[in-house]
Structure 1
Amino acid sequence: MSAALHRAIVRDGRRIRVELRPTPRPVAGEVLLAPQTAGLCGTDLQMLRGLRGDPAPVIGHEGSALVVAAGPDADPALAPGTRVVVNPTHPDDPSFLLGHHVDGLLQERTLIPQSAVRAGLVTPLPQSLAPGDLAALLEPLATVRYAFSVLERMGVGTLAVFGDGTVGHLAVRAAGRLLGPGVRTVHVHRTDAGRAWSEHRAHRADVLLTAAEGGEALRAAVGDAPAAVLLATPRDATLRCLETAVRAVPGELVVDLLGGLPADATSPLLPGVELAAVRAANCGGRPAVPRIARALTDTGAPVRLFGHRGVAERHLRDAAAELAAAPERYRDLVTHVADLDEAADIMRHLAAHRDRTWRGRRLIKLAVRVAPDRSAVPTTPAPTASAV
């Protein structure tokens, strides 16, 4: 009997193509998933462009899937047919980082190892919360929900969001619903093209800026209300945006270092603060009460900083509930939907160009419909791992 095969988008250096790969069978404690919808994010682009050394040939850590087979001793809540979302970051096992260190969701079958299953990283989703193509927004919206779970206790009057990728837009969209209708939003875009896209959205921020407008424009936009800054920025931009915010915002500032940072990141504006350590202090939703660092700027102004890698199960469930409750608030962020073959074409384009336009439209979030035939995926429990 020939071995089962499945299709996957595989990267090998700068080469990206759809290939057939052997389909694994789950052993003790493992589950095999059929990804339904997967998203492409900023860290994925960094890997495609050779800016990160993560080894997984199959990327993709955002989306939803169905369980198609479970090994012996697997969690009974993860029976075949169960719709799930995978938390990509293991709080205790750094060897598991979905789509970075282990093969991700941009393939028709993905094996989740026992350590991740036992840690509760595979979360069942009720059918009422199944978000379709919006599943590409589940994990990034969960990171926003995590950030807001901290900020909502701090009496924020103005939220300034740096970054015009998916997370930045999600933070702006979610702020009114999750932080309260009285919170004013300022959205700082990387480019004029990003700002122009936002200007035509129904759910745009109260104030739109570009990074080139600088600190004076930000100071005027923030005003005197208690302010927080969310840095939804790539690794090479986070420090610069942080320094802009520290210089521009008067009074005590709260900063979420959501974006990536170099391992040795420091700033003369924040003497003695190891920024990467602040960001890494909260991982996978732990500790239950997030760690927040207090510091003084070089001019003596107080700053509170926190960050986070990954989220907890509750944040993923909250994100699914939010997408189900207000889908039209977020739907236009999924600007492109593709199958595996077109997704590979898009990924090749993005790997070679900084341009975020595909087929004449700015790309915010790509949702990849991975499943070739959803009706072929089991929807009732199967007793053994033979359902591969």
Structure 2
Amino acid sequence: MNTAVAPDDAQAGAGERVPLPVHRAIVREGGSVRVRRRPTLAPAAGELSIAPLVAGLCGTDLQMLRGLRDDPAPVIGHEGVARVVAAGHGVDSALAPGTLVVVNPTHPTDPSFLLGHNVDGLLQERTLIPATAVRGGQVIALSEAPEADLAALLEPLATVRYALSVLAVARPRTLVVIGDGTVGHLAVRAARHWLGDGVRTVLVHHTRQGTEWSARSRIRADVLLTQSLDGAGALSGAFADGPVAVLLATPRDATVTCLETVLRAARGEVTIDLLGGLPPGAGTALLPGVDLADVRAANCAGLPDPAETVTVRSTTGVPVRLFGHRGVGNAHLLASAAELCRAPERYRDLVTHAVDLTEAAAIMGRLALSPDRNIAGSRLIKLAVRIAPPHRTTQED
């Protein structure tokens, strides 16, 4: 039997070993996904131990599960809410045990903290938040929180809030959203709240199945398109009534292709958010000399404010205002929490599956092997993982 040694083992009697408490976590290991017991470490000075309550699974998580990203954290998950369990010496009393919090997963200046990517994330019963993130204000106390499962939408809706706040400068009459994942659907639902009642929404889906799901939804875009069927020709109609803003909510291997589709379809000036991922050095012949990855990386965790943008002219003759961003600012997270509390009915049906850790591990293992999003007979939009309190066990049990 393996027994962990407590951090203060030197204080124990000679030869004594102090067993650590453990908690359950969804762990990536050897290409598989399993629920494992892990040591529950007490926070050192400046650190926080938090108990995730509900966590979400997002597109970048799926890319890690499928080996498309090399992020090292064995435990992923950066979306959700938690309660503070223990605070190390020197942590502000505003983050006392019992405080409900959301963690901003992207540090604006310290790349060593990226929750669920290079630091173990929220898909576990306890998460240790390092001092650099606590000092940097990445752990935010919530005075109000959305109903339980909607917590899985808090961070992605904050991403939408950031995107729409920048796109709003163009005063768009039409918002074109490319991508029918969680962020794409959230953008459609939030558009009129943050861009104005008169904005027209167009949602471009990746598959016919996605389009059919949207068509059945109580809240849907004004225009539904299927990229594989409709192409740039049909998309051109979305640009008939400018100004137009475009949100690319796409996986990194599709962002450049979708950007090119937009540029060929556009009839006049267009403002585009490169919200989707991009490989290093990504570019397109339609925007000569523009490093798209650099454009996206110029804005990180809400900084600078206002966001940096690039204005260019495409080879198709269209003026393009281009920007992108990694992560969100704390203000975006708080605005998202307030919106989910104010209008939960607008977003509730996007949480299509809510499961415990064990069921989540099985679903994640399946998604790692197949792009099929039909889970338990229905299309997966957002998976909310309900995380129960840890069992009172130690590694010697």
Whether TM exceeds 0.5 here: the answer is yes
1:13, 1:50 within 8 Å by CA — same for their partners in 2? no
Cα gap change, 1:169 to 1:130, in 2 (>3 Å): closer
- Report the counterpart of residue 186 of structure 1 in structure 2: 202
Deviation at 1:221, TM superposition (A): 2.8
Deviations 1:152-180 (A, max 9, x none): 22111100000010000000000011111
Q: How does 1:24-35 map to 2 (within 5 A)?
A: 24-35=41-52
Q: Distance in 2 between matches of 1:72 and 1:326?
A: 38
Distance 2:164 2:293 in 1: 20
Identify the residue that residue 214 of structure 2 maps to in structure 1.
198
Report the aligned-residue RMSD. Answer: 1.2
- Does the aligned pair in 2 maintain the 1:224–1:250 contact within 8 Å? no
Name the count of aligned residue pairs. Answer: 374
Partner of 2:154: 138
Q: Deviations over 1:1-56 (max 9, x none)?
A: 42110000000131110000000111111100000000000000000011110000
Structure 2: stretches of 5+ with no match in the other structure = 1-17, 393-397
Match of 1:268 in 2: 285
**1:186 touches 1:222 (CA, 8 Å); kept in 2?**
no
- Out of 110, 115, 122, which is 1:93 matched to? 110
Match in the other structure for 2:267: 250
Rounded to whole Å, the distance in 1 between the matches of 2:213 and 2:30 is: 32
Contact 1:89 1:310 (8 Å CA) reproduced = yes
Do 1:58 and 1:107's aligned partners in 2 also have CA atoms closer than 8 Å? yes
Q: Which residues of structure 1 form unaligned runs of 5+?
A: 377-388
| Mapped contact 2:51–2:389 kept (Cα < 8 A) | no
Map of 2:68 onto structure 1 = 51
User: Residue in 2 aligned with 1:161?
Assistant: 177
1:84-104: per-residue Cα shift (whole Å, max 9, x none)?
000000111111110000000
CA distance in 2, matches of 1:171, 1:219: 20
Match of 1:3 among 17, 20, 29: 20
Task: Give CA-to-partner distance per residue, 1:277-305, whole Å, 9 cap, x none.
Answer: 00000001100110010111013321000
Deviations 1:160-202 (A, max 9, x none): 0000100000000000111111000000000000000000111
> 2:236 matched to which residue of 1?
219
Identity, % of aligned pairs? Answer: 65
- 1:119 is aligned to 136
**1:373, CA displacement in angstroms?**
7.1
| Number of the residue aligned with 1:147 | 163
CA distance in 2, matches of 1:238, 1:13: 29
Corresponding residue number in structure 1 for 2:395: none
| TM-score (norm. length: structure 1) | 0.95
Contact 1:84 1:124 in 2 (8 A): yes
Normalising by structure 2, what TM-score?
0.93
- Corresponding residue of 1:15: 32
1:180 counterpart letter in structure 2: G
Stretches of 4+ aligned residues off by more than 6 angstroms? none
* Aligned position for 2:145: 129
AA at the equivalent of 2:385:
V
